[in-house]
Amino acid sequence: MNPLLQAKRLGQRLWLDNLSRELLAGPLQTLIAEDGLAGVTSNPAIFQKSISAGAGYADDLAALKAQPLSTEQRFEALAVPDVQAACDLFAASYQASEGLDGYVSLEVSPFLARDGAGTLAAAQRLWAAIDRPNAMIKIPATPESLPAFSAAIAAGINVNVTLMFGQRDCDAVFDAYLAGLRQRLAAGGDLRHVRSVASLFLSRVDTLVDARLEAIGADAVLLKGSAALAMAKLAYARWTARWNGDECADLRAAGANVQRLLWASTGTKNPAYPDTLYVDNLIGPDTVNTLPDATLAAFRDHGTASLALLEGVDAAETTLKRLAEIGIDLDAAAVQLQVDGLKLFDEAFEKLLASLA
C-alpha cells in the first residue's frame, strides 16, 4: 500500500508544506484523491517563492498595483483567495472526517510576533476574510503571542501554533490551549468545532545541535541526528499523558478536541541522513506531519509506515540526558532557534512586500 495512506490508517495525517496557484490548478486535487493528503500549510517564505516565481499571479499583481492599497493588503488580496480555494478543495475531506481533515493554514504577519494585541486582531481579521470552517490561522509560539492564541481559541478560531522548538514551548502552548478552551466553555461556547495543531520544528534542531556536537568532538558526534527525534518522542508522550489525564477530563467531557502535535521542518537538511528520517520515525495517533514536496514524494516512494512514535521512549529519554551531560542545553537552543526562525520569516516577508510595492 502507498505509505502515505498507511500513515493515515495509523492515525497520522500528512499535510503538504506548500501552496501556490500552480498547485491549486490540479496537483492538489490529485494528492487529496490518490494520497489521502489531509491539509496544506503556508508561511511567508512559501508565499514569497510562489508569488515571485509563479506566472499565475501576474494579472492580479498588475491590477493590485493600480489600487491604493498597502503592500500587506496586496499580499492578503492574493493569499486569501488561494487559501479559500484550497479550503474548498478539502471541503469534502473536512466534512467526511467530521472536522479531522482538510485544513489550510495562513500565517499572521511575522512582524507581529512580539505584539500580542496585533496578532489577535490579525487572526480575527484573516479568519473572517477566509470565512471557511477548515481554515487555520498560524500564530507564533512567542511569549507575547500565546495570550492571543488563547483568545483566538476562546473566540472559536482554528489555530496552528508555529515556531515551537522544544519542550518548554510545548508545555506553554498546551497550557495556552487549555486556557482558551476553558474561556470558551465558561462563556457558553461550543468546543466541538474548534481545532488546533501545535507545530514542533525538527530538522533545525538537529542542524544546530549537530554543529555543537562536532565542536565538542570525541564520542559526542555519535549523538548527531538524535536530538530532534528524541525531543519529539518525549514531547508526544507528555502531550498525550496530559490530554488523557484528569487535568483535561472536564474539557474532554465537553467535547473538546485534542490539540494535535504537528511535525514541521521535516525535510532533512543533512544529506547524510535518510530523506524520510522525520517521517518514518514519528508516525503515531493524533499527530500531523507537514511535508515539503520532495519529502512527500520520497515517503511515497520508499517510506516505512509503522507506529514508530510509540517506540523507544526510554531510549529517547536517555539520549536527552546524555546530551545534557555533555553540555547541550536544548532549552537555550529552542530560544535561539525561535529567534532565528522569526528572523527568516521577517526577511521572507520583507522580500515579498518589496515585490508588491
- Catalytic residue numbers, as ranges: 138
CA distance 194 to 260: 12
Could you please report the per-residue DSSP string of 45-74? HHHHHHHHH-GGGHHHHHHHHTSS--HHHH
What phi, psi does 113 have (nearest 5°)? -60, -30
Check if the beta carbon of residue 284 is closer than 8 Å to that of residue 310: yes
Of 3, 45, 111, give the one whose Cα is nearest residue 265.
Answer: 45
CA distance 99 to 96: 8
Cα 327 to chain centroid distance, Å, stands at 29
Element (H, E) at 13: strand 12-16
What phi, psi does 21 have (nearest 5°)? -70, -30
CA distance 57 to 63: 10
* DSSP character at residue 260: E
Question: Which segments within 29-91 are labelled E, that is strand?
Answer: 39-40
